[in-house]
Chains A and B, each alone.
Chain A
Amino acid sequence: MNIFRLAGDLSHLAAIIVLLLKIWKTRSCAGISGKSQILFALVFTTRYLDLFTNFISPYNTVMKMIYLGCAYATVYLIYMKFKATYDGNHDTFRAEFLVVPVGGLAFLVNHEFSPLEILWTFSIYLESVAILPQLFMISKTGEAETITTHYLFALGMYRALYLINWIWRYYFENFFDLIAIVAGCVQTILYCDFFYLYITKVLQGKKLSLPA
């Protein structure tokens, strides 16, 4: 474990908690893409199948359970408890256009052709594009609540910090996972546009609104 990976995990945890609290406190999921949240729940489910069979550390197990629990709780709040506030008209990104190609790629490009490893690879590829429905929704509505932009910033920073973690592990642990690195680069690049808006607008106290 290094400081960059820990910072990344804490940033990821913060994002997940901020989103869950936002929906719970405001009793509304307006502006939140339910499709992205379903994709994240799928990412954690396919990545953490070895939760009970492959013990890494108490930290690893606890964090995986928190991620899984929060992901499903968020999906539940969006599609059941606060369904009336779900903005389905703007959450129209065709998620199947992500899941199918990612599924095919996971079969073709992986470290080992075994069920667990293919599902892990699927989760890595899917995570890199899972935020697209959310970013697409914001571009359609033309704006985002400030709390939602903080959620997205923390979520985007988590994988950016992981990129630094992989550089660190390459030099100090001789660890190198090309699949995770390439997917992590794609994932972080998708946030660049948002990062620019977040830093130039939200951090200046303005509301994030896109030129519609």
Chain B
Amino acid sequence: RQLMLNHDEL
């Protein structure tokens, strides 16, 4: 879930 909120896409 944390991955989701750590938006790594432009």
Contact = CB atoms under 8 A, between A and B. Distances in A.
A128 to B, nearest CB: 14
A63 B10 contact: yes
A177 B9 CA distance: 11
Chain A contact residues: helix, strand, loop or mixed: helix
**The 8 nearest A-B residue pairs measured at CB:** A56-B8, A63-B10, A9-B10, A111-B4, A177-B4, A112-B5, A111-B5, A120-B7
Interface residues of B, number: 8
A60 B8 CA distance: 8
Chain B contact residues: helix, strand, loop or mixed: loop
B4 A54 contact: no
A131 B4 CA distance: 26
A9 B10 CA distance: 8
Given A60-B10, A64-B10, A67-B10, A117 B3 contact: no
Contact of B10 (A12, A54, A175): A12
Contacts of B3: 175
